[in-house]
Structures are given as structure tokens and as C-alpha cells.
Amino acid sequence: MARLRNEEVSRLFEVATRTTGDPYFGIAVGNLLQFSYLHALGYGLMASATLRDFYQRVCNYYRLASPNADFRHFSQDGACILEASNVRASVCHESQDVFAVLMVRYMRFLYQRELDPLWMELVRPLPASRCPAISRIFPLPGALCCTRAARCDRGAAHG
């Protein structure tokens, strides 16, 4: 099976976003995808015993699935932070939305309970209106139009 280039995915998302009129189309897509979306990485993440393991696997193995970003995790003031950096310019914001939703969904599935980030920053244009879907997926203080992509969780869940 051929893999779509970032530019092709961006064009596909651009058409879908324009057709639906939904600037948060990536959020809807992220709600529909399964573990296999990230191939072996998705299943590997599900083998994580703790949130720390989960974050470490993202950092160690994401580049095997995609060269589009680098990840690091660290603790700061009792919070556990997963940060994306060096995100390629060709990665559209809808794709970044998809990944953010997948990460939250995977962690919730893994821990079999609600697990809400303390905060999240997404690097994307700010749409004219707040999306109810974002509030359901990320019921937290969040920010759009940031200079980095990051999520923060309580240290106790970090394991």
C-alpha cells in the first residue's frame, strides 16, 4: 500500500475542511481512527504499563512511523509534559489535531478511565468559533496559535 505524502494529506484535508465548513475536521477524524492508524507504534503504545512508559514509547518510536516530528517528555512542577518539536511545515494542522486526539484516546483506553490533560497547546490557526468537539475531547484550559505542541498531565498518573 502506498503512503500519502504530507502535501497530499494536506490537500485532502483542505478539501474536506472546505466542503464540510468545519475548521476542526481533524478532531472528528481523530475520533474515528483506531490503534492500527499508527501501525506497530499504536499497538506498542497499548503495551505501556504507565503514562511514563507511554510517553517514552512515543519519544522512542514515533520516528519509525513518521519523520514528521520529534517528541520529548519531561516533568516540571509535578506535571508530566509531552512535547512535539521540529514538526515539518508540510504537516497540516488537521493532521496535528488528529494526532492530539489519538494520544488522548489511547491514554484513556489504556487507563480505562477518564484522563484529561491539565493543559494542551496546539500549533494551528485560531478558527472564528470554539468547537464543541474540542471541549468534549479536551475539557481543559487549552490554547491554539501556540509556538509549540505540548500536553501536560498530573504527575500521579505518570507512574
* pLDDT, tens digit, 9 for 90 and up, residues 32-74: 888 777 778 888 888 898 888 989 999 999 888 888 899 999 8
Q: Residue 49, CB half-sphere, CA atoms under 13 Å: how many?
A: 1
- Say whether pLDDT at 12 is over 90: yes
Is 1 contained in some domain? no
Is 74 contained in some domain? yes
91 vs 2, residue with greater confidence? 91
Q: Which residues pair with 75 in a beta bridge?
A: 80
Q: What is the number of structural domains in the chain? A: 1
Is 109 contained in some domain? yes
Is 142 contained in some domain? yes
Ramachandran assignment for 136, one of left (phi > 0), alpha (psi -120 to 50 degrees), beta (any other): alpha
Indicate which CATH number applies to the domain containing 111: 3.90.1520
What are 73-128's pLDDT values in tens digits? 988 887 788 888 888 888 888 888 888 888 888 888 887 767 777 777 777 766 66
Which grid coordinates belong to 32? 474515528
What are 22-36's pLDDT values in tens digits? 888 888 898 888 877
For residue 62, what are the contacts with CB-CB under 8 A and spacing of at least 6?
A: 41, 69, 70, 71
How far is 28 from 25, CA to CA, in rounded Å? 5
Q: Which pLDDT value is given to residue 147?
A: 46
Is 2 contained in some domain? no
Is 47 contained in some domain? yes
Is 88 contained in some domain? yes
pTM above 0.85, yes or no: no
Place of cell 509549540: 148
Q: Sign of the C-alpha dihedral, residues 150, 155, 157, 159?
A: positive
Mark 135-151 as b/e (b = at least 16 C-beta within 10 Å): eebbeeebebeeeebbb
Domain range for residue 49? 7-158
Which grid coordinates belong to 15? 478539501
